[in-house]
Structure 1
Amino acid sequence: MKTYFVDSFTNEKFKGNPAAVCLPNTELDSETMQNIATEIGFSETAFIKQISDNNYSIRFFSPKTEIPLCGHATLASSKIVFDTTSFENIKFINAENVELPIAKVGNKIKMQFPVYNTQETEVPQEMTDALGISEISNKRYSPKNKIILIEIKCAIELANLKPDFTALVNSYSGINGVLVTAVSDTANFDFHYRYFWPWSGTNEDPVTGGVQTFLTKYWSERLNKTKFNAYQSSSRTGTMSTELVADKVFILGEAVTVLEGEFNL
């Protein structure tokens, strides 16, 4: 099976978020795809298959479970399709039949994702202690994504967080992850964020595009604007631009292919 490793949301190798992109020649069952994703070990492995013309099916697996929607693995998959075909526009259809139109824009890739609402929520003290957060500015919950959003005041504090992941998992159940965000302290970016998801994936996702389905709208309401430059302050770091347009969010980013090979099935 043709397989690629791609670093997403960066123009540098060994930065951004690595994803595996697999192009099966035959139908694979869910158990096999999960085993492959677990073997590779990246936060996400994508399996894509051409349906017709420039339309592709796409499925995402973390090392632990199937994920309905993933931004960085969609970007990685788009990079491979654009590099190996003459297409300038493609469309992915995920396991929930959500259509994801993608366009090549120079050296960058523009993805269209749906927008999901957030609601008020409570965050237990055990969670904030596990994260190492001293003070919360705001807290929300994305029911569609099953992700808790916590806003704090300081981007430097965000970058310096060193969560106790055992305590974090034990602090809450029934969610996929916790996103911590702060307004940027530099002119180059509007907000910073980090995503921790030991419940359903790895301890920390280096750069997360899928959370923009609710994070861009959140910051749009907080900052009263619709276009953003976002910075993920993980150890690998990563950047993207987003724009909120009605019930859609456009995510613009770059990707670098670092490996091309074959997975022996």
Structure 2
Amino acid sequence: MVKTKHFDLTGKVALLTGASKGMGRAMAEAFAAHGASVVISSRKQDQLDEAAAEINKSCGAQRVHAVAANAGRKEELEALVERTRRDVGPIDIVVGNAGVNIFYGPISEIPDEAYEKTMKTNVQANLWLARLVVPDMIDKGSGSMMFTASVGAYKPSSTLGLYGTSKLTLIGLVRNLALEYGPKGVRVNAICPGIVKTDFAKALWDNPEAEERANSQIPMRRLGEPDDFGGLAVFLASDSSSYMTGQALTVCGGTYMWS
């Protein structure tokens, strides 16, 4: 048996937004299983408490803490970061997984309010989060941030154009943060899922047409599952990816291998 510390997160503190269910929860569970102390956040405390209890039971330790916050509100992000520091410790790992998609239709017809909320939550809020946590990482000379983008960033859409635009902008943000924070030992990467079977994306996969596309067009012949992202998150959080930053990692079963 080969002994390795490549994926050991013991002693690390991870903070995740959008983590009461779906991909965020799967990442939190993987972090806890690899030894990290984890703070999960979303808007609803009851869902967070349930998720934290189940993950702690699974890993056999009280490693996961639940703190409700709306990731699209700066003051709530500030309170979330401060409570994480106070109750758990300085932050080593951040996952910005919270996002919204509130408009379905041509981007040329989007109301200003919907545009502003989408860009604020999917882009600006992640910049706020990065700024809030980076002092802890700079003090240690190391740290890892990862933000959930989308394969929607890679092509235009007649119905999800603004969502894709926000995620392409998020990738641009990730690259600029990687450039600025790299000399200080902090890495920043994006994760770009294809269609994943989460509640957030249910309208895209819960129909016969989506199943047919999965069975005929996706090289892996299935849709994504939240658990497909736990290992990737641990890799990005750990020293195993210590020379990787500014990347947009596509996890889509091969659908976008040509992009």
- Pick the structure with more helix per residue: 2
Same fold (TM over 0.5): no
TM-score by structure 2 length? 0.27
- Pick the structure with more strand per residue: 1
